[in-house]
Amino acid sequence: MSDLLKRDTTVKIMSVLFAVFLWFFVLDSTNPIVSMDFSVPLRIENENVLRSKDIVIKESNFPRNVTVSLKGREEKIKRINSSEIEAVVDLSKVNDASTGFLYVEIYNIPDGVSFESVSPRTVNFKLEKIGENLYPIEVTTVGKAKENYRVVGISITPQTISIEATNSVISSIGKVMAVADITGIKSDTSMKLMCKVYDKVGNEMPEFSDKYSVEARIEVAKEVSVIPVVKGKPAKDYVDGVHKVSPDKVLISGPSNLLDSIDNLKTESIDIEDLDASVTKTANIVLPSGVNLVNSQKAVSVSVEIVPLSVKKYKIKAEDIIMENEEADDSLTYKIVDEEIEIEIKGTMEELDKIVESKLKPSIDVRGLKEGTYKRTLKVVLPSTLKLSQDVEVEVVIERKNEG
């Protein structure tokens, strides 16, 4: 009896094994195990985590898609939608800027199939640490202010900017500049200036264009001449010569409409009454109400040259003397008694040296004179800076012309 039971059990086991074998055989014939490739979009995750570590990707060549190979029964494999599979590069796994690659990780593989491979298996990249540095802003100008106006000050806010970039970029920055166009400016002006960043060679770095700006305040002043004022007359036989003031120009500020009307400023009067020597004195500039000096002292130095007069003698020939207002009917003759008349002209040597004798045009006025001998005052043409030392009288004989 026990032998019979043992034989039954063995038969049953073998029947089951045969049935299983037969099932697998039929299954492999109708639904075999196959491998299939799927194109799956590659997703880059956690770039913000990378940024929080002050790291940026300098160079990368991430593929848009990766090829995922799965293995399983043909019927199951064919029902798989590639959109269900996820291919991920997780940047949070970067420890520092020296990391050069990460593995592509595959998620959401359907039940009943197995993962075989992914291509590419890794993605390569170059990382760089982010740095930050403060740079002073240099301000330069282009154009010209209105004639006689000058830019006397430029203030900016802020005076520095903080630039954040990769260490290699930070180390290449040479300077930061802002350019103010002052064409035609004549009054204090506020303006917004865009900054330009240049490398150490002097080339503009376009990645920073229109990224930084400053508020600028342009201060303007007008340049005007200083005119020295003198009063009084020097001692006898002396004249005042050159008047000099130092500085001879100053900068002024004030309301624009007021500055437009001012071309010069005068000093307080310097008294030269009865002086016989040159003098240098300090005098204040007289400022109109509402006008202020810019970077200048109110007191200026005024020098007045006191020059002794010299005398130079000239001889006038009688035939060179012009008769003014002769009788219109030409009935009279006029004759100068002396062949030469000596005159003395007084003035500074500088002015005397400029005299051209032919331009003296000596003359006497004979208006209304009839026959007879007369003395008339000689006149010569002189500039206002010269004069005759004394009046010179010329003797003239007037006769009637013989008729016939």
Fold of 223-308: RNA Polymerase Alpha Subunit; Chain A, domain 2 (2.170.120)
CATH code of domain 31-120: 2.170.120
CB 244 within 8 A of CB 302: yes
The domain 129-222 having CATH identifier 1.20.1250.20: the answer here is no
Tell me which residue of 234, 238, 230 sits closest to 281, measured CA to CA: 230
Could you identify the residue written with the tokens 């074998």?
Answer: 21
- Of the pLDDT bands very low, low, confident and very high (cuts 50, 70, 90), residue 241 is confident
pLDDT of residue 19: 52
Tell me which residue of 42, 48, 37, 123 sits closest to 88, measured CA to CA: 42
| Amino acid identity for residue 321 in this structure | I
User: In this structure, what token pair is assigned to residue 88?
Assistant: 């991920």
- Of the pLDDT bands very low, low, confident and very high (cuts 50, 70, 90), residue 2 is low
Domain 31-120 matches domain 129-222 at the CATH topology level: yes
Per-domain boundaries in the chain: 1-29, 31-120, 129-222, 223-308, 310-400
Output the DSSP codes for 324-375: ES--TT--EEEEESSSEEEEEEEE-HHHHTT--GGGS--EEE-TT--SEEEE
pTM above 0.95, yes or no: no
- Of the pLDDT bands very low, low, confident and very high (cuts 50, 70, 90), residue 7 is low
- Of the pLDDT bands very low, low, confident and very high (cuts 50, 70, 90), residue 130 is confident
The domain 310-400 having CATH identifier 2.170.120.30: the answer here is yes
pLDDT of residue 27: 47
- Of the pLDDT bands very low, low, confident and very high (cuts 50, 70, 90), residue 85 is very high
**298 in helix, strand or coil?**
coil
Q: How far apart are CA 133 and CA 163, in angstroms?
A: 6
